[in-house]
Amino acid sequence: MGDKYKNLFSIKSVYEIEKHLYDNGSKGFSLMMKAAFAAYEHINLNTVGKVIILCGKGNNGGDGFGLAALLFMAGRIAEIYKVEEPTKKEAKSALKLCLKLGVKVTKYSKPLKEADIYVDALLGAGIQKSPKPPYKSIIKDLIKAKNKGKEIISLDVPSGVDGTTGEAYIPAVNATTTITFLAMKKGLLTGQAVDHTGDIIFKNIGIVQPKVSSDATLLEKSDCHFNILKPSSHKGDKGSVLVFGGMKGMEGAGILSGMSALRSGAGKVFWVTNTEKLNYPPELITVKPDIKEITKYLMMSKVCIMGPGLSAGFEEIIETIWDFEIPLVMDAGGLRWLAKSNKNRSYRFVGTPHQGEARDLVEQKKLDRFKTIEYIKKKYGGDWVLKGAGTLISESNKLWINNFNMPNLGTAGSGDILAGLIAGVWSAGSKTPARSGVWLHTNLAKKATKNKTNTFFTASDLIN
């Protein structure tokens, strides 16, 4: 059982927290042994069998030495495989304790010996590039052990994963469990990192955190605002949404966005489409893609969704809507237009790109997820939702992370529904439409999963 966390930190901020602690009398060796004890508690209570701890030269290795000492004193079979001599004084002290106790310490050599549990105390949180020999081959051995069903426990951050960005270098440890200490690292909750962390257990090791500004915040329902309607409210009070998208051949995108907007608070939905012969939901009011006609309905709407199922050839209408003073939710075709036009909007809008659309928006620059969302907000204005595992939300000049990973959501139409949910809650008066829409999307996905007996589901399952 881990400790609760709300604030999320970069590795640079974690180092700042540590400096504050040292400046106020905390001892490095004491902090190391507290981290080791947190790992010991988990391993001793939840595992059985032989433990091999692989220790690098830094303080992550020191955590491993401390863990070995505690396991040994508890009567567990635990061995240390030392990759390099420790360079930090705290790690040297932890190794010295192991040697005095009689813990078996062996210089690492191939092949990796048999054990039930392997502890990754190799590289820790600060890595910003691919692991080099000998760590590279050791990590590959740990990946093979995991594939054979062995339990791999990483201390603080899986070796090869960047705790700040969530990037996983090649190779990176595939942990069964990651026990992270002191402060929650933001990179563990997003991007490629989620493929490597396994179950995350956070331990604050009994430390009252110094006042260091967090780099991101964990998204929870309490961070969202859903407007409460009066009993006498009617469809006009809830606000209307105009959906510009779902053109011929891609009607489903417009329908999904429109229906999810209705399900999340919109009173009416006007659907701008060039399709005619289609059995569409009777709740949607269809509008022809004519500028004069669209302008009339824009004036009746509180929010506009632009882009789901929007093909090329409608640039003039897109520009008209972009310049119209109405809150916008931009997705798919709308984002493709924005990437080409390079326009900035001072009036409120929320962009909802997936990783591919985001690459176009940053002009194919190689940026991590955090730098990507920062870049597009600065360049285009607005608030942003960067979709994917551990969705990032930049709203209210703060960064939020949605700690939710479901590959089942990687299905056609899922993003169209998210756009509709954001627009729906916004039209109903939400002051936090981006993060409220993301939270609602997650909640619907969880419910859909409980209600389904098969492995995968379609986007429609989210709102049916």
CA distances from 292 to 93, 287, 321, 333, 375 (A): 77, 11, 11, 21, 35
Indicate the number of domains in the chain.
2
- Asked if 283 and 269 count as a contact pair (C-beta separation under 8 A), the reply is yes
State which of 174, 193, 214 marks the end of a domain.
214
Question: Is residue 331 in a domain?
Answer: yes
- Examine the domain organization and report whether 181 and 122 are in the same domain: yes
Give a yes or no: residue 1 inside a domain: no
* Residues 152, 84 within the same domain: yes
| Whether residue 201 sits in one domain with residue 84 | yes
Are residues 352 and 439 located together in one domain of the fold? yes
Asked whether residue 74 falls in the same domain as residue 197, the answer is yes
- Shared domain for 205 and 264, answered yes or no, is no
For residues 266 and 181, state if they share a domain. Answer: no
Cα–Cα dist 4/13, whole Å: 19
Q: Is 345 domain-assigned?
A: yes
Same domain assignment for residues 258 and 209: no
Decide if 439 is inside a domain.
yes
Q: What would the two tokens of residue 303 be?
A: 């929010």
Domain identity same for 305 and 382: yes
Nearest to 194 by CA among 216, 225, 172: 172
pLDDT value, residue 204: 94
| Domain's final residue, options 214, 234, 254 | 214
Q: Residue 83: which domain range?
A: 7-214
Find the helix or strand (DSSP H, E) in which 300 lies: none
One domain, residues 168 and 308: no
Residue at which a domain ends, from 184, 214, 244? 214
CATH number at residue 157: 3.40.50.10260
Q: What is the DSSP string of 112-158?
A: PPP-SEEEEESS-S---SPPPTTHHHHHHHHHHHHHTT-EEEEESS-
Give the pLDDT score at 156: 97
Contact 434, 422 (CB under 8 A): yes
Per-residue pLDDT, 61 = 97
Looking at the fold, whether 210 and 245 belong to one and the same domain comes out as no
Q: Is 78 helix (H, G, I), strand (E, B) or coil?
A: strand
What does the alpha-carbon distance between residue 292 and residue 317 come to, in Å, rounded to a whole number? 10
CATH code, 240: 3.40.1190.20
- Residues 73 and 98: their CA atoms lie apart, in Å, by 10
User: In this structure, are residues 385 and 352 in contact, taking their beta carbons and an 8 Å threshold?
Assistant: yes
Would 2 be classed as within a structural domain? no
Note whether 399 and 436 are same-domain residues: yes
Q: Which helix (H) or strand (E) covers residue 400, if one does? A: strand 398-401
Instruction: Say if 160 falls within a structural domain.
Output: yes
Ordered per-residue pLDDT tens for the chain, 464 residues: 689 999 999 999 999 999 999 998 999 999 999 999 999 999 999 999 999 999 999 999 999 999 999 999 999 999 999 999 999 999 999 999 999 999 999 999 888 899 999 999 999 887 888 999 999 999 999 999 999 999 999 999 999 999 999 999 999 999 999 999 999 999 999 999 999 999 999 999 988 877 899 999 999 999 999 988 767 676 776 799 999 999 999 999 999 999 999 999 999 999 999 998 788 899 999 999 999 999 999 999 999 999 999 999 999 999 999 999 999 999 999 999 999 999 999 999 999 999 999 999 999 889 999 999 999 999 999 999 999 999 999 999 999 999 998 877 778 889 999 999 999 999 999 999 999 999 999 999 988 888 765 667 788 888 88
